[in-house]
Amino acid sequence: MQRFEGKVALVTGAGRGIGRGVALCLAEEGANIIVNDLAPTEGLGARATVREVEALGRRALAYDADISDREQVAALFAAGVAHFGRIDVVVANAAFSIREPVIEARWEHVLRTLEVTQFGAYHTCQAAAQQMVKQGSGGKIVIIASILGEIVFPNSAAYNMAKAAVIHLGRTLSAELAAHRINVNVINPGYIDTPGERKFATEEQIVQAARNLPWGRLGTPRDIGRAVAFLASDDADYITGTTLVVDGGYKQAMRLPEA
């Protein structure tokens, strides 16, 4: 399928992990991609994803920006429009997390988590809405939240509350933008196999976690990319303000203790 032929998509945090998976899935279906991430380190970053997008025969623009900074977000969108002429799909994916119990959490870590994960999503969605309303031809906004915005996960309070907030942001924005035919939806991934998870768990722990899931494996960035591609396509024209859980049955696996 080529559901995005002639369309332009902007994906934040797309240098690796879920963002990269989203960018590649959209490019496979015809989209040109604005690839955002922080400035690259150790060969990672937006440019690596750009090369993969271009290998699929699509055009791509790498743009380094910290989405917690409103001025950098504005510059990101301005550069994307200057390069491609328009933006049809925006995926607010970039996030940050440091796992600490509340009683020990350092405020700078909490603040950075909120600045990127919550406020960064707000900046991205606001800029997307402004550009799409200006274009006057509708659009698609997809926010990557988390099942941790729905269920308790100890040692992750700042991230949990940030993801809960962006879920509600998506619902609110969908109501505000419906008259402009701009669909706004949220995806809540479960346990996804990304480089970021290696900050918090060993390979052995990750393998064991996969065995414990109902689907028998961790999710992949491509699993989330395919879900984004659906919600960002015309196939989902009548879907807005919804939250799609993509977790391989993670929540359904929660059980009360045996009697």
Please write the tens of the pLDDT for every residue from 43-63.
568 999 999 999 999 999 999
pTM of the model: 0.94
Residue 35 domain-assigned? yes
Angstrom distance (rounded) from CA 106 to CA 110: 7
Tally the domains of the chain: 1
Q: What mean pLDDT value characterizes the chain?
A: 93
Hey, which bits of 145-181 come out as E strands? none
Q: Residue 21: name the closest of 132, 142, 133 by CA.
A: 142
What is the structure's pLDDT at 209? 78
What is the structure's pLDDT at 216? 87
Residue 55 domain-assigned? yes
In terms of residue numbers, what domain contains 48?
8-250
Catalytic pick among 63, 122, 159, 191: 159
Q: Quick check: 202 pLDDT over 60?
A: yes
- 3-state secondary structure at position 41: coil
Asked about 122 being catalytic, the answer comes back as no
Residue 255 domain-assigned? no
Which CATH number do you get for residue 207? 3.40.50.720
Residue 259 domain-assigned? no
Q: Residue 53: name the closest of 98, 95, 4, 96 by CA.
A: 4
Residue 1 domain-assigned? no
- 3-state secondary structure at position 249: coil
* pLDDT tens digits, 222-248: 999 999 999 999 999 999 999 999 999
Residue 258 domain-assigned? no
Q: What is the mean pLDDT of residues 193-221?
A: 82
Contact predicate 150/166, CB 8 Å:
no
Contact predicate 231/140, CB 8 Å:
yes
Q: What is the mean pLDDT of residues 17-21?
A: 96
Which residue shows structure tokens 């995806």? 187
Residue 3 domain-assigned? no
Angstrom distance (rounded) from CA 117 to CA 95: 4
What is the structure's pLDDT at 124? 98
Residue 225 domain-assigned? yes
